[in-house]
Structure 1
Amino acid sequence: MSSSPPRVVIAGVGDTGLLSAIHLSRHADVVGISTKPGLLSGQELGMRLATPQRWARDYWVEFGRYRRLDRARLIHGEAVGLDPAERRVVVRRSDGVEQVEPYDVLVVASGVTNGFWRRPDVQTADEVSASLAAAHERLASAGSVLVIGGGAAAVSSAFQLATRFPTTRVALCFPGDAALPQHSRRVWTQVSARLAAAGVELRAGHRAVVPEGFALDAVTDAPVSWASGQAPSTADAVVWAIGRVRPNTAWLPPGLLDERGFVVVTPSLQLPGHPEIFAVGDVAATDPLRSSARNRADRLVARNIRAHLAGGRLASFEPPRRRWGSVLGVEPDGLRVFAPAGRAFRFPGWSLDSVLQPWIVRRGIYRGVRR
């Protein structure tokens, strides 16, 4: 007589939680809790703002299209409480009804809130589509755009908007002498040249004053003041992408969190004192860059969960010292992916829809995505 498979509850089915569920779906009874009815990726903000239909094709995907999720149970709602002693998660479904989900293993992948593009709100598919269209239309109608921030989200937004709307005046304002401080300096050397060629005005040394109580959750047109001493700036549309993230951890007991609200983890991505609870992605305090969100730690956490359940040895997550990956998004000549050392590999434009997305992403990474 066979025993029932272990139940793994994954709280948060975004970029990292989805991949963790895919890796575990053949080895456990997987239950996913998601505030959206599909993957609403936090990647490639610039493409999302400039070309939302193309972006949605690859980054806003209903869960039913993922073949490896056929065996999983997805709950449209949000985690609102956790009882570690009883191993139970309290879930408030999208219809407002609360239910309790028991678990053998819990994966905390609830991510972060970051501006208007990463929000914890429970939304329907129509509401998500409407928000994508609203942000795009707001920027498409602007004669001038000010993008504030020095990270990849800000840089890609400035580039994609300037490329998509060549008559729009686009300025990128960042606090240091160079943007992308968490990447190799080689990356900024190459990216800044492409920004300039696209017509983006680069304003170094501009540190914005964030208005009191401002949540950074909308494209605005209010004047921007600078703590670095420059005169206030105005534009028809202002995109705040300054990286001020807030972890989505209000549902967790405070004793599981660090002073900033991120989940404390060991090198094996387990919570100290709770080996049955794992955390992965932007919500996990693995290192200063919280890099388990971008370095395929989904594979590691799935392997470690299987090892934990089998009484085996767990591996450690080793964070890289630099960020890597795509910065600008899809360009006219293809897609550039930067290695940690700063060297770029370019996928030619012709290969994106014939090789990269169908074979490397949909089949290789996601193990099959239905049309």
Structure 2
Amino acid sequence: MRRRRVVVAGLGDTGIQVIAALARHRRLLDVVGISPKPGYLSGRHLGVRLARPTRWEENHRIAFHRFRRLDDVRTVHGRLVALDTRAREVEVRHADGSTARHGYDILVVCTGVRDGLGRTPSIQDDAEIDLAFDRARAAVIAAPSLAVVGGGPTALESAAQIAQACPGKRVDLYFPGERPLVHHHERVWDECRRELRRLGVGLHPGHRAEFTPGQTDRITAGPLRFRTGQAAVPADLVLYAVGGARPNTEWLPSSMLDDAGFVRVDPELRTPGHDGIWAVGDVAATDPLRTTARNRGAQLLVHNVLATVRGRRTRRYTPRTRRWGTVLHEIGTVMTVFTTTGRALHHTRASQVFQERFLLRRVVYGGVRPPHPGDSASS
């Protein structure tokens, strides 16, 4: 059987799982990965990245050469700029401005979304990533007060982690409804509210912030104003975590996209009308919450790609109606994970180490080498 060329477009949280799994099948597949970053750079856990960057980088920033399964995989450092479906080629622009085309038999779109708070589609090297992260962290740590805007997990985690790391800082959380986490079970907010209050975070329901689209792309200076009639808040810094993520799909033809710019997919995660093209993760319009990034969507896609190559039956994706997972991340030495029914599962540090070192690094990624002494975070 002829080896199929598979191009994985985007090597973030979902793409790295896809490419690590596909790389196991080198007799069937010739796998190529394309990323604007020099290594795996997660878009998750903004609060941990700002408050405890060393802890965050252990599992969320890893150079590609450290992944054992990628030893026989070619990774291309560049930004995707075009797709030619007839020629079955993608065009990539490199950091020096040059471009190159890469052919594919199968294309997997995992380019994710951008929000300006660590998730950007721009080409960066390690030094540029370090500079951007260090500036954001320094600003947050130095500010006497911080207002966090948003009602999703990113906003709550950011408020909790920064309050935990900086006990003397005033941290306030503003959200528009009676409660945040509207896509989680009601019990999740009950437990998170108790923890946030214990950490000293001020909670302000019914506050819909006033902002321009550009303000959500960075941490800005106060004051914070509201469209719901409350007086402006003179916060030193404002972190907008308002869920305004935009898909990284400018390089794709409009026929592949829905009205919001996300990639249209069928229940098997194929793009209708485009042979050999699949999509998964935050960029895939599977359901209103786009849940494949956290519900084994990567594993399902890999199964279906292999089944198609082998002429076997594919499986269908069934989205969940409620979100699950960690919200505040690690508080003290305990991380709480919530199920879709609102049940809280508390993981000790020992349990977390087991999950990170065995389940994530060995089972999901197929082995990750330790960094060399003196290397940068992603080296």
- Structure 2 equivalent of residue 61 of structure 1: 62
Contact 1:150 1:179 in 2 (8 A): yes
Deviation string, structure 1 residues 233-272 (Cα, Å, up to 9, x no partner): 1211111100001110000001110111000000000011
Equivalences for residues 278-317 of structure 1 within 5 A: 278-317=278-317
Contact 2:177 2:205 in 1 (8 A): yes
- Structure 1 equivalent of residue 375 of structure 2: none
User: Structure 1 runs of 4+ off > 2 angstroms?
Assistant: 349-353
Q: Is 1:12–2:10 an aligned residue pair?
A: yes
- Structure 1 equivalent of residue 135 of structure 2: 134
Counterparts of 1:7 and 1:320, CA distance in 2: 32
Contact 1:146 1:170 in 2 (8 A): yes
Amino acid at match of 1:184: H
Partner residue of 1:24 out of 22, 25, 29: 22
Counterparts of 2:81 and 2:160, CA distance in 1: 38
Deviation string, structure 1 residues 24-71 (Cα, Å, up to 9, x no partner): 012211111101011110111110110112111211111111111111
Amino acid at match of 1:310: R
Deviation string, structure 1 residues 168-212 (Cα, Å, up to 9, x no partner): 00000000111111111110000110000000000000111122x
- Secondary structure at the aligned position of 2:193 is classed as helix
- Structure 1 equivalent of residue 356 of structure 2: 357
- Secondary structure at the aligned position of 1:274 is classed as coil
Counterparts of 1:292 and 1:275, CA distance in 2: 21
Deviation string, structure 1 residues 305-344 (Cα, Å, up to 9, x no partner): 1111222211111111111111111110311111111111
Q: Is 1:49–2:50 an aligned residue pair?
A: yes
Counterparts of 2:85 and 2:49, CA distance in 1: 38
Counterparts of 1:334 and 1:227, CA distance in 2: 37
Contact 1:52 1:133 in 2 (8 A): no
Contact 1:281 1:293 in 2 (8 A): yes
| Ranges in structure 2 where 5+ consecutive residues have no aligned partner | 371-379
Residue-pair matches, total: 367
Q: By how many angstroms is 1:222 displaced?
A: 3.0
- Structure 1 equivalent of residue 373 of structure 2: none
Contact 1:286 1:292 in 2 (8 A): yes
TM-score (norm 1): 0.97
- Structure 2 equivalent of residue 340 of structure 1: 340
Contact 2:148 2:159 in 1 (8 A): yes
- Structure 1 equivalent of residue 273 of structure 2: 273
Q: Is 1:253–2:248 an aligned residue pair?
A: no
Contact 2:47 2:154 in 1 (8 A): yes
Counterparts in 2 of 1:215 and 1:90: CA distance versus 1, 3 Å: farther
Counterparts of 2:350 and 2:280, CA distance in 1: 34
| Ranges in structure 1 where 5+ consecutive residues have no aligned partner | none
- Structure 1 equivalent of residue 36 of structure 2: 35
- Secondary structure at the aligned position of 1:15 is classed as coil
Range with greater deviation from structure 2 (72-81 or 94-103): 94-103
Amino acid at match of 1:18: I
